[in-house]
Amino acid sequence: MMASARYDGGALGRALSQSNVNLWPFYYKGIYHLFYQYNPYGSVWGNIVWGHSVSTDLINWHAVDPAIYPSKTFDIYGCWSGSATVLPGSKPVILYTGIVDDFKTQVQNIAFPANLSDPLLREWVKPDYNPVISSDPSINATQFRDPTTAWLHPDNKHWNVAIGSARKEGQRGVAILYRSRNFKNWTKAKHPLHSIKGTGMWECPDFFPVAVSGREGRDTSATGRGVKHVLKVSLDRMRFEHYTLGTYYPALDRYLPDQASVDGSEGLRYDYGNFYASKTFFDPAKKRRVLCGWANESDVTHDDASNDIIKGWAGVHLIPRELWLDENGRQLLQWPVEEFDRLRSQHVSLANQAVNPGGFFRVNNIDSVQADVEVTFEMSSLEKAEDFDPSYVGDAQAYCARHAADVKGGVGPFGLYVLADSALEERTAVFFKVFKHKRKHVVLFCHDPTRSTKRVKNIYKPTFAGFVDVDIDSSKTISLRSLIDHSVVESFGAGGKICITSRVYPSLAIGRDAHLFVFNNGAVDVKVSELNAWEIRTPFMNKEI
C-alpha cells in the first residue's frame, strides 16, 4: 500500500483491493481464501470483479487472478457479493449475486473451481444453467442479494441458504430462505428465516452457530444442544451492522432471537465504528470462528473520489478477529487472531503508574504509528461518577459526542491518545467514562477523532461509542487493546466485549511524528496497572504470486 502525499495509509496488509467492500473468506486444504469486490482498473467504483487473495496465516496475503468477472447474461452487469461453501468430498462452490437487465434484476449464481488439484483455486467456472435462484413476484428484484454460506440441514439431505432482501415497500428487512438437495435446484421456503419491520434492506446476512460454552468454533452446519445461533445483517439504510443471538429450529425453518437480544438499530453490533459488510467462516484447522470486516474511507464523498485516486485504494480490510460467545450468553466476544501477534517487534512496558486528574504522559521508546497497545486501568473510586442521562440509553454515539474526550468529568474520560503529534494538536482519543445509573454504574467506551487532523479538510470525523456490559462496581478495572495503523484504529474494550474502528487522517502525526499518550480528564486518580506496547512489522500486502 502506498501513502499519499497528504497522509499515511494503513500498512498491515489491509488494502486487498483498489475498491473493496464485502468479504467472503473460507479455508481450503491449508490455505485461507479471501474474495472481495474489486476494480482492477482503478480505485473508484466500477468494473467490479471478484478479487481473490490467499494466505497461510490470515496476516500475510498474496494476490492471485480475479476469481470471477462479468461474462455471461446472468452477471453481465456485475458479480456482486456472495459466499463460499465446501461441499462433501472437499468441493468448494461459490454462490454469488449477478446483476442483469441494466441493474434492475439481481439473481443468484454458482461457480466451481476449474481444477481441484490447484491449492490456490485460481480458475473458476460458471455453469450455463445459472442463475440457480431468481426472484418471484413477492420479492423486490432490486433488493435480492448476498447469499450466505450454505448449511446442511440435520436430515443430511438438503442444503439451506439465506439471501438478504426487503419487502416490496422496503421497510421490513428479511432473510429469505432457500433449500436444495443438489446445490443446483433451489426452492424457496414458505416463510423467511427471520424478518423484522422498520429496518429496511438487509445486506450481507451471515448465519452461523457458536458454542454455548468455551471458545472453540463450530462448523456452519452444527445444530442442536450446546450451540446458539447468530444472525448478522448489514443495514443498508443506516450503514451499520447488527446481530442477534437466538435459537434455530430446523424442523420449522425458523430462527428466533432470544428475548433479551434486540433486533434492529438498538441491538448488538460486532463493531460500533466504521465497520461494514463483514463475513465469518469456520476455520477447521484451528477450530475457530473467524470474522473479517471492512472499513470505508472517511475522506471522500460520493461525488468526489479524488482522494481515493491519489491514495490508490478505496476501503481497507481490517485485521481478522476470532469470535466466540461470552460466558454470560448475552453477547459475542472478539479478539485479533493469534497470528497477528507474530508481527510484534520493539516492546515497551510500564506498570503501576498513576495518572492524576487532568494529567497525561507520553509512552516513549516506541514508534507508535504502527503499533499494538494493551493497557489495564484501575480507578481509585467511583464516587464522583456523574449521573447517567437515561434518554441516551439507546444512543451511545450521541452520548459520546456530548461527553467527548476534552469534556472533563467525574470518573473519566481516561484512556489513550493515539496518532498524536508531540504538542497534542492532533490526536485521536480512545477512552472510557463511568456514569451512575440507578444502583449500578454504566461504562461508556468511545473513539473521539474530532481532533485527529489539523490540516486535512472535509474529513468525516464522527465520534463512535457503545456501552460496555461489564461489572465495573466489583472490579474497578477495565482493559483496552488498540491496533494502530497509520489511518486505522481498531480498539477492543474489556477483553473484546466491545469493539470500535475509526478511520483518521493525521497531517502532523505521521511516521515518527506520531506518538502515544495516556490521559485522564476525570476528577479522580486513575492508575495504569499495566501497559504493554509493541511496534508492528509490515507483512506482505497482497503481494502477487
Which range (354-363, 378-387, 535-544) has the least confidence? Answer: 535-544
pLDDT at residue 429 is higher than 80: yes
pLDDT at residue 383 is higher than 70: yes
Enter the pTM of the model. Answer: 0.95
Number of neighbouring beta carbons within 10 Å of residue 512? 9
Q: Is 307 helix (H, G, I), strand (E, B) or coil?
A: helix
**Of the candidates 125, 178, 116, which has an alpha carbon nearest to the alpha carbon of residue 151?**
178
pLDDT at residue 13 is higher than 50: no
Q: Mean per-residue pLDDT for 471-496? A: 97
pLDDT-derived band of residue 458, with 50, 70 and 90 as boundaries? Answer: confident
Residue 105 CA to residue 83 CA, distance in Å, equals: 19
pLDDT at residue 102 is higher than 80: no
Q: What pLDDT sits at residue 303?
A: 58
Which residues does 443 contact at the CB level (< 8 Å), separation at least 6? Answer: 432, 433, 434, 435, 467, 468, 470, 472, 478, 494
CA distances from 163 to 66, 79, 384, 398 (A): 24, 15, 50, 32
Cell 502525499 belongs to 5
Domain boundaries, the chain: 23-295, 345-537
Q: Mean per-residue pLDDT for 9-33? A: 69
Q: Is 364 helix (H, G, I), strand (E, B) or coil?
A: coil
Sheet-wide strand order for 240-249: 202-211, 227-235, 240-249, 254-257
Pairing outcome for strands 240-249 and 254-257:
antiparallel
pLDDT at residue 203 is higher than 90: yes
Sign of CA dihedral 62, 277, 444, 229: negative
**pLDDT tens sequence across 502-521:** 999 999 999 999 999 999 99
CA distances from 64 to 21, 72, 162 (A): 18, 22, 29
Q: What pLDDT sits at residue 25?
A: 93
* DSSP state string for 308-351: HHHHT-SSEEPPPEEEEE-TTSSSEEEEE-GGGGGGEEEEEEEE
- Alpha helices in 457-502, H assignment, sequence order: 472-475
Q: CATH number of the domain at 23-295, please?
A: 2.115.10.20
Sign of CA dihedral 46, 150, 288, 323: positive
In terms of CATH architecture, what is 345-537? Sandwich (2.60)
**Of the candidates 26, 140, 45, 139, which has an alpha carbon nearest to the alpha carbon of residue 93?**
26
**pLDDT tens sequence across 50-59:** 999 999 999 9
pLDDT-derived band of residue 304, with 50, 70 and 90 as boundaries? Answer: low
